[in-house]
C-alpha cells in the first residue's frame, strides 16, 4: 500500500490522504501517512458508529441517531469547510 499511496501523492499534488478503518496495522498505517510527499498524509482513524458503548457510537439501541454525537460530525464539516 505504501508505494501506491506515494504514487498517488506524486500524481495528484493537490490532494491529501487519510486511511480509514485501521486496526492492528495502525502503526504501519501512520508511518505511511506521515511519509507521503509534502506531508499530505493526514493520518488514520477508526470509526465504529454502530458499536455500543464506543466513544464514536452514533446510534442508540433502537437505531436512532444520538444528536449530541452527530453534532460533533456537523462541527467537523463546518470547521473544515466540507460539503454535507
| Structural domain boundaries in the chain | 1-46, 48-84
pLDDT at 59: 79
Look at residue 84 and tell me whether its pLDDT is greater than 60. no
Distance between CA 64 and CA 73 in Å, rounded? Answer: 16
pTM metric for this prediction = 0.48
Q: Is pLDDT above 80 for 7? A: yes
Q: How far apart are CA 41 and CA 64, in angstroms?
A: 34
Instruction: Give the mean model confidence (pLDDT) for residues 6-34.
Output: 80
E-assigned strand segments in the chain: 17-20, 41-45
pLDDT over threshold 60, residue 9: yes
- What is the structure's pLDDT at 2? 66
pLDDT band at 52 (very low <50, low <70, confident <90, very high): low
Amino acid at each position: 500500500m505504501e508505494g501506491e499511496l506515494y504514487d498517488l501523492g506524486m500524481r495528484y499534488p493537490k490532494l491529501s490522504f487519510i486511511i480509514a478503518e485501521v486496526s492492528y496495522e495502525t502503526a504501519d498505517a501512520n508511518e505511511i501517512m506521515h511519509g507521503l510527499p509534502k506531508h499530505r498524509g493526514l493520518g488514520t482513524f477508526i470509526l465504529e458508529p454502530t458499536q455500543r458503548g464506543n466513544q464514536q457510537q452514533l446510534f442508540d439501541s433502537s437505531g436512532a441517531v444520538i444528536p449530541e454525537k452527530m453534532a460533533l460530525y456537523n462541527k467537523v464539516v463546518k470547521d473544515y469547510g466540507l460539503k454535507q
